[in-house]
Amino acid sequence: MLENPRDVGVSTVREMADAANVKPNTLVRMARQVGFEGYEDFRTPFREAIRNGAANFSDRAKWLQGIRKSGDLGGLFADMVQETMRNLDETFAAISPDKLEAAAHDVWNSRNVYVLGMGIHNSNARNFTYLASTGIVQIHAIPHPGSTPADDLAWADERDVFIAITCKPYRTEVVEAVSLAKEQGMTVVALSDSPASPILREADHGFTVSVNTPQFFPSSVSIIALLETLLSFVVAVASDEVPERVAKFHARRHQLGLYHEEQ
């Protein structure tokens, strides 16, 4: 168990007993000998370590399967709600409106804004870009189809802003793109899950997001909420033409029949 602590959190007592070539009752007696009421009580700190991220994606997936087998999906539901609310609280408690406003001004005053997220964060980056595109024309999600982040940033310079998103395990493409953006003089806005993140260390505007979750992948809730808040700040500091663009954009959709109209 000392050599395989992750297995303790994701395996049944019978599976651990088979791996150790002992009977399940041996593990129960061991748990009581070291001060626990039973084996399930003994497993709790190992399972908590997995829930808090001290395991890889596959181990966390096995842990979720273990919850289903134990019939404690109600507990999983409560954990999901609790962690979602905690992520939002911790993320926004650590961010000042002045810091967010400074980033918003740089975004609005830039020539182009490039937004990069890989894996699960690719959809977060593209969602931000999509929302912004209804009123702001200079925001682009990268990489473009058939391209690379480096190629898409080839002609960017100090007039441009780069928004980068990555959490543990940090994606190499994003880390390298941030370094490249800094070399080219771009203003970098970074969202990541730790002050020690390689992209936050180089950022002009760095924001630490809380992404804890019982799930087997980092939560995107606080990232999406922060991006939406950043966009709201950008619109707030923008010129009067942005609300006019938004109105025109949606009026055009109505005219083209893209929205269902109630008869």
Domains and CATH numbers, the chain: 5-70 (1.10.10.10), 89-255 (3.40.50.10490)
Q: Is the pLDDT assigned to residue 193 strictly greater than 60? A: yes
pLDDT attached to residue 53: 56
**pLDDT number for residue 1:** 76
For 256, list phi and psi in degrees, rounded to 5.
Answer: -85, 0
SS3 205: strand
Would you state the pLDDT for residue 249?
A: 76
Question: Quick one: pLDDT band at residue 79, thresholds 50, 70, 90?
Answer: confident
pLDDT-derived band of residue 257, with 50, 70 and 90 as boundaries? confident
pLDDT digits (tens, 9 = 90+) for 94-123: 999 999 999 999 999 999 999 999 999 999
User: Between the CA of residue 237 and those of 100, 105, 230, 234, 245, what are the distances in Å?
Assistant: 11, 7, 11, 5, 15
Q: Residue 144's pLDDT is what?
A: 93
DSSP code per residue over 143-176: SPTT--HHHHTTT--TT-EEEEE--SSPPHHHHH
Phi, psi values for residue 54, rounded to 5°: -85, 50
The C-alpha atoms of residue 106 and residue 239 are separated, in whole angstroms, by 14
Residue with tokens 């908590």, as numbered in its chain = 48
End-to-end CA, the chain: 66
The pTM (predicted TM-score) of the whole model is 0.69
d(CA 109, CA 226): 20
pLDDT at 60 over 60: no
Rounded Cα–Cα distance for residues 196 and 170 (Å): 11
Average pLDDT over residues 153-174: 96
CB atoms under 10 Å from CB of 241, counted, come to: 11
Asked if residue 56 has pLDDT above 70, the reply is no
**How many helices, marked H, and strands, marked E, lie in the chain?**
12, 5
State which amino acid sits at residue 112.
Answer: N
**Closest to 220 (Cα-Cα) out of 230, 231, 209:** 209
